[in-house]
Chain A
Amino acid sequence: MTTTTTIGGHDVHVDDEGFLTSYDEWDEELARALGAQIGLELTTEHLSVLRFLRADFREHGETATLRRVTAGTGVPTRELFALFPVKPAKKMAYVAGLPKPRGCV
Protein backbone atom coordinates (compact mmCIF):
# COMPACT_ATOMS: atom_id res chain seq x y z
CA MET A 1 0.00 0.00 0.00
CA THR A 2 1.19 3.50 -0.76
CA THR A 3 0.68 6.41 1.55
CA THR A 4 2.05 9.92 1.65
CA THR A 5 4.35 11.49 4.17
CA THR A 6 6.10 14.82 4.52
CA ILE A 7 9.86 14.86 4.78
CA GLY A 8 11.72 18.14 5.08
CA GLY A 9 8.76 19.97 3.55
CA HIS A 10 8.47 17.53 0.61
CA ASP A 11 5.27 15.50 0.22
CA VAL A 12 6.28 12.07 -1.05
CA HIS A 13 4.65 8.69 -1.67
CA VAL A 14 6.07 5.86 0.46
CA ASP A 15 5.38 2.18 1.11
CA ASP A 16 4.39 0.68 4.47
CA GLU A 17 7.97 0.86 5.72
CA GLY A 18 8.67 4.36 4.48
CA PHE A 19 10.67 3.68 1.30
CA LEU A 20 9.77 6.05 -1.52
CA THR A 21 7.60 4.53 -4.22
CA SER A 22 7.63 7.23 -6.87
CA TYR A 23 10.94 7.50 -8.75
CA ASP A 24 10.30 11.02 -10.03
CA GLU A 25 9.62 12.60 -6.65
CA TRP A 26 13.29 12.43 -5.73
CA ASP A 27 15.91 15.12 -6.09
CA GLU A 28 19.17 15.78 -4.31
CA GLU A 29 17.60 18.27 -1.96
CA LEU A 30 15.12 15.60 -0.88
CA ALA A 31 18.03 13.16 -0.52
CA ARG A 32 19.56 15.46 2.09
CA ALA A 33 16.27 15.47 3.99
CA LEU A 34 15.98 11.67 3.76
CA GLY A 35 19.57 11.30 4.94
CA ALA A 36 18.90 13.61 7.88
CA GLN A 37 15.99 11.36 8.93
CA ILE A 38 18.40 8.47 9.43
CA GLY A 39 21.29 10.46 10.86
CA LEU A 40 23.33 10.96 7.71
CA GLU A 41 24.77 14.26 6.58
CA LEU A 42 25.31 13.79 2.86
CA THR A 43 28.70 14.54 1.33
CA THR A 44 29.76 14.51 -2.32
CA GLU A 45 30.83 10.87 -1.80
CA HIS A 46 27.32 9.95 -0.66
CA LEU A 47 25.82 11.81 -3.60
CA SER A 48 27.97 10.13 -6.22
CA VAL A 49 26.87 6.71 -4.89
CA LEU A 50 23.24 7.86 -4.92
CA ARG A 51 23.51 9.10 -8.50
CA PHE A 52 24.81 5.69 -9.56
CA LEU A 53 21.93 3.95 -7.76
CA ARG A 54 19.41 6.23 -9.44
CA ALA A 55 20.84 5.77 -12.93
CA ASP A 56 21.21 2.01 -12.47
CA PHE A 57 17.62 1.69 -11.27
CA ARG A 58 16.33 3.68 -14.22
CA GLU A 59 18.19 1.37 -16.57
CA HIS A 60 17.47 -1.98 -14.90
CA GLY A 61 14.35 -1.38 -12.82
CA GLU A 62 16.00 -2.86 -9.76
CA THR A 63 17.93 -1.40 -6.84
CA ALA A 64 21.63 -2.27 -7.03
CA THR A 65 23.13 -4.46 -4.31
CA LEU A 66 26.36 -3.48 -2.53
CA ARG A 67 28.41 -5.60 -4.87
CA ARG A 68 26.88 -3.95 -7.90
CA VAL A 69 27.43 -0.48 -6.43
CA THR A 70 31.09 -1.29 -5.78
CA ALA A 71 31.51 -2.67 -9.30
CA GLY A 72 29.73 0.28 -10.86
CA THR A 73 31.28 3.17 -8.91
CA GLY A 74 34.67 1.83 -7.85
CA VAL A 75 33.81 2.79 -4.26
CA PRO A 76 35.17 -0.09 -2.13
CA THR A 77 32.84 -2.12 0.07
CA ARG A 78 34.56 -0.86 3.24
CA GLU A 79 33.90 2.71 2.14
CA LEU A 80 30.20 1.97 1.56
CA PHE A 81 29.98 0.65 5.13
CA ALA A 82 31.62 3.88 6.32
CA LEU A 83 29.30 6.13 4.31
CA PHE A 84 26.09 4.28 5.18
CA PRO A 85 26.90 2.56 8.49
CA VAL A 86 25.56 -0.79 9.73
CA LYS A 87 22.99 -1.49 6.98
CA PRO A 88 24.48 0.13 3.89
CA ALA A 89 22.39 -1.49 1.16
CA LYS A 90 19.05 -0.58 2.73
CA LYS A 91 20.16 2.88 3.83
CA MET A 92 21.51 3.87 0.44
CA ALA A 93 18.34 2.61 -1.23
CA TYR A 94 16.26 4.71 1.15
CA VAL A 95 18.23 7.90 0.65
CA ALA A 96 18.24 7.32 -3.13
CA GLY A 97 14.44 7.14 -3.04
CA LEU A 98 14.40 3.54 -4.30
CA PRO A 99 12.92 0.23 -3.04
CA LYS A 100 15.00 -2.06 -0.85
CA PRO A 101 17.34 -4.22 -2.96
CA ARG A 102 15.79 -7.63 -3.64
CA GLY A 103 18.99 -9.45 -4.63
CA CYS A 104 20.81 -11.68 -2.13
CA VAL A 105 24.36 -10.64 -2.98
Chain B
Amino acid sequence: MTTTTPAPTAAPLVPSFGEDKTDRKLAIICSKGNLDMAYPGLVLANAALGEGIETHLFFTFWGFELVNRKTMGDLKFTMLGNTATHMPQGLGGLPWMTTLATARLKKSIAEIGVPEVPEFLQQIVDSGGHLWACRMSADMQHLGMDDLYEGVEAIISAADFIEMTDGAQLLFI
Protein backbone atom coordinates (compact mmCIF):
# COMPACT_ATOMS: atom_id res chain seq x y z
CA MET B 1 0.00 0.00 0.00
CA THR B 2 1.26 3.47 -0.79
CA THR B 3 0.90 6.09 1.88
CA THR B 4 2.06 9.63 1.95
CA THR B 5 3.65 10.99 5.07
CA PRO B 6 5.56 14.20 5.61
CA ALA B 7 9.36 13.89 5.77
CA PRO B 8 10.41 13.78 9.41
CA THR B 9 13.47 15.97 8.91
CA ALA B 10 14.52 18.84 6.70
CA ALA B 11 17.55 16.98 5.28
CA PRO B 12 16.70 15.79 1.75
CA LEU B 13 16.31 12.04 1.28
CA VAL B 14 18.87 11.09 -1.36
CA PRO B 15 19.87 7.53 -2.37
CA SER B 16 23.25 6.36 -1.19
CA PHE B 17 25.48 5.45 -4.10
CA GLY B 18 28.25 4.30 -1.79
CA GLU B 19 31.82 5.49 -1.84
CA ASP B 20 33.26 7.08 -4.97
CA LYS B 21 35.77 4.27 -5.08
CA THR B 22 35.22 0.77 -3.73
CA ASP B 23 38.01 -1.68 -2.90
CA ARG B 24 35.75 -4.56 -3.83
CA LYS B 25 37.18 -6.69 -6.59
CA LEU B 26 35.60 -9.63 -8.43
CA ALA B 27 37.31 -12.44 -10.35
CA ILE B 28 35.22 -14.72 -12.56
CA ILE B 29 36.66 -17.91 -14.01
CA CYS B 30 34.75 -18.91 -17.14
CA SER B 31 35.46 -22.59 -17.81
CA LYS B 32 32.47 -23.63 -19.92
CA GLY B 33 31.93 -23.18 -23.65
CA ASN B 34 28.23 -23.93 -23.95
CA LEU B 35 26.03 -21.00 -24.90
CA ASP B 36 23.91 -21.29 -21.76
CA MET B 37 26.98 -21.44 -19.53
CA ALA B 38 28.60 -18.41 -21.17
CA TYR B 39 25.94 -16.03 -19.95
CA PRO B 40 26.09 -16.31 -16.13
CA GLY B 41 29.65 -15.02 -16.03
CA LEU B 42 28.98 -12.24 -18.51
CA VAL B 43 25.79 -11.07 -16.79
CA LEU B 44 27.43 -11.04 -13.36
CA ALA B 45 30.54 -9.26 -14.67
CA ASN B 46 28.35 -6.62 -16.29
CA ALA B 47 26.34 -6.17 -13.09
CA ALA B 48 29.49 -5.86 -10.97
CA LEU B 49 30.95 -3.24 -13.31
CA GLY B 50 27.72 -1.28 -13.08
CA GLU B 51 28.23 -1.21 -9.31
CA GLY B 52 31.73 0.20 -9.69
CA ILE B 53 33.50 -3.06 -8.84
CA GLU B 54 36.86 -3.90 -10.45
CA THR B 55 36.13 -7.04 -12.45
CA HIS B 56 38.42 -9.62 -14.07
CA LEU B 57 37.35 -12.56 -16.24
CA PHE B 58 39.65 -15.52 -16.86
CA PHE B 59 38.76 -17.74 -19.83
CA THR B 60 40.04 -21.26 -19.41
CA PHE B 61 39.46 -24.71 -20.93
CA TRP B 62 36.08 -24.70 -22.71
CA GLY B 63 35.56 -21.14 -21.56
CA PHE B 64 38.31 -20.25 -24.02
CA GLU B 65 35.65 -20.63 -26.73
CA LEU B 66 34.15 -17.32 -25.59
CA VAL B 67 37.24 -15.37 -26.62
CA ASN B 68 38.36 -17.46 -29.59
CA ARG B 69 37.41 -15.37 -32.64
CA LYS B 70 36.46 -18.51 -34.56
CA THR B 71 33.95 -19.79 -32.00
CA MET B 72 32.80 -16.83 -29.87
CA GLY B 73 29.84 -16.01 -32.11
CA ASP B 74 28.85 -19.62 -32.60
CA LEU B 75 28.47 -21.15 -29.14
CA LYS B 76 25.85 -23.87 -28.89
CA PHE B 77 23.26 -25.13 -26.48
CA THR B 78 22.41 -28.81 -26.15
CA MET B 79 19.61 -30.58 -24.32
CA LEU B 80 21.89 -33.56 -23.74
CA GLY B 81 22.76 -34.05 -20.10
CA ASN B 82 20.52 -31.12 -19.16
CA THR B 83 17.42 -32.42 -17.39
CA ALA B 84 16.18 -28.87 -16.83
CA THR B 85 14.78 -28.80 -20.36
CA HIS B 86 12.23 -31.41 -19.15
CA MET B 87 12.35 -33.12 -22.54
CA PRO B 88 13.19 -36.79 -23.16
CA GLN B 89 16.99 -37.03 -23.28
CA GLY B 90 16.78 -39.22 -26.38
CA LEU B 91 15.47 -36.25 -28.39
CA GLY B 92 18.66 -34.34 -27.72
CA GLY B 93 20.66 -36.90 -29.67
CA LEU B 94 18.80 -36.24 -32.94
CA PRO B 95 21.11 -34.56 -35.45
CA TRP B 96 19.27 -31.25 -35.76
CA MET B 97 18.32 -30.89 -32.11
CA THR B 98 21.36 -28.92 -30.93
CA THR B 99 20.90 -26.47 -33.81
CA LEU B 100 17.24 -26.05 -32.95
CA ALA B 101 17.85 -25.70 -29.22
CA THR B 102 20.60 -23.15 -29.87
CA ALA B 103 18.38 -21.07 -32.16
CA ARG B 104 15.58 -21.07 -29.60
CA LEU B 105 17.86 -20.05 -26.73
CA LYS B 106 19.44 -17.29 -28.81
CA LYS B 107 15.97 -16.00 -29.67
CA SER B 108 14.90 -15.97 -26.01
CA ILE B 109 18.06 -14.09 -25.05
CA ALA B 110 17.64 -11.55 -27.85
CA GLU B 111 13.99 -10.98 -26.95
CA ILE B 112 14.91 -9.61 -23.54
CA GLY B 113 17.48 -7.26 -25.06
CA VAL B 114 20.57 -9.16 -23.97
CA PRO B 115 23.38 -9.12 -26.56
CA GLU B 116 25.16 -12.04 -28.18
CA VAL B 117 28.51 -13.06 -26.71
CA PRO B 118 30.88 -10.89 -28.82
CA GLU B 119 28.82 -7.74 -28.27
CA PHE B 120 28.44 -8.55 -24.58
CA LEU B 121 32.20 -8.86 -24.19
CA GLN B 122 32.57 -5.47 -25.88
CA GLN B 123 30.12 -3.96 -23.41
CA ILE B 124 32.10 -5.45 -20.52
CA VAL B 125 35.37 -4.03 -21.88
CA ASP B 126 33.72 -0.65 -22.46
CA SER B 127 32.50 -0.71 -18.86
CA GLY B 128 36.08 -1.16 -17.66
CA GLY B 129 36.18 -4.97 -17.30
CA HIS B 130 39.39 -6.93 -17.81
CA LEU B 131 39.53 -10.06 -19.99
CA TRP B 132 42.36 -12.59 -19.61
CA ALA B 133 42.99 -15.79 -21.58
CA CYS B 134 44.44 -18.94 -20.05
CA ARG B 135 48.01 -19.84 -21.08
CA MET B 136 47.50 -23.59 -20.85
CA SER B 137 44.34 -23.48 -22.99
CA ALA B 138 46.12 -21.36 -25.60
CA ASP B 139 49.09 -23.74 -25.68
CA MET B 140 46.88 -26.82 -25.95
CA GLN B 141 45.07 -25.34 -28.95
CA HIS B 142 48.18 -23.68 -30.41
CA LEU B 143 46.49 -20.28 -30.36
CA GLY B 144 48.00 -16.83 -29.86
CA MET B 145 46.72 -13.30 -29.26
CA ASP B 146 45.93 -12.91 -32.98
CA ASP B 147 43.38 -15.70 -32.68
CA LEU B 148 41.64 -14.07 -29.73
CA TYR B 149 39.02 -11.39 -29.30
CA GLU B 150 40.67 -7.97 -29.38
CA GLY B 151 39.43 -7.05 -25.90
CA VAL B 152 41.58 -9.76 -24.30
CA GLU B 153 44.45 -7.99 -22.56
CA ALA B 154 46.90 -10.90 -22.45
CA ILE B 155 47.37 -14.64 -22.30
CA ILE B 156 48.43 -15.34 -18.73
CA SER B 157 49.24 -18.34 -16.56
CA ALA B 158 47.01 -19.54 -13.76
CA ALA B 159 49.60 -18.26 -11.28
CA ASP B 160 49.52 -14.80 -12.89
CA PHE B 161 45.74 -14.74 -12.56
CA ILE B 162 45.84 -15.80 -8.91
CA GLU B 163 48.44 -13.13 -8.18
CA MET B 164 46.49 -10.45 -10.05
CA THR B 165 43.25 -11.19 -8.20
CA ASP B 166 44.72 -11.01 -4.73
CA GLY B 167 41.93 -10.11 -2.33
CA ALA B 168 39.19 -10.52 -4.94
CA GLN B 169 35.93 -12.37 -4.49
CA LEU B 170 35.95 -15.31 -6.84
CA LEU B 171 33.34 -17.05 -8.96
CA PHE B 172 34.02 -20.29 -10.82
CA ILE B 173 31.60 -20.96 -13.63
Contact = CB atoms under 8 A, between A and B. Distances in A.
Interface stretch (B26-34, B46-54, B87-95): B46-54
B21 A86 contact: yes
Contacts of B47: 104
Contacts of A2: 2-4
- Most chain B beta carbons < 10 A, residue from A17, A65, A77, A78: A77
A42 to B, nearest CB: 16
Contacts of B115: 67, 105
Given A17-B15, A103-B113, A5 B52 contact: no
B7 interface: yes
Interface string A1-23: 11111110000011001110000
Interface residues of A, number: 34
A55 interface: no
B43 to A, nearest CB: 6
Contacts of B127: 66, 77-78, 81
Contacts, number: 88
A86 B48 CA distance: 10
Nearest to B4: A2
A4 B7 contact: yes
Contacts of B3: 1-2
B160 interface: no
Interface string B7-50: 10010111111101110000000000000000000010011001
Interface of A: 1-7, 13-14, 17-19, 37-38, 65-68, 70, 76-78, 81, 85-91, 94, 103-105
27 contacts: A1-B5, A2-B2, A3-B5, A3-B6, A4-B4, A6-B10, A6-B12, A17-B15, A17-B16, A18-B13, A18-B15, A37-B12, A38-B15, A38-B17, A66-B123, A67-B123, A68-B113, A70-B123, A85-B20, A85-B52, A86-B52, A87-B52, A91-B17, A94-B17, A104-B47, A105-B43, A105-B115
Given A77-B126, A88-B50, 13 more contacts: A1-B2, A4-B6, A6-B12, A18-B12, A18-B13, A68-B113, A77-B127, A86-B20, A86-B21, A87-B18, A87-B52, A104-B47, A104-B114
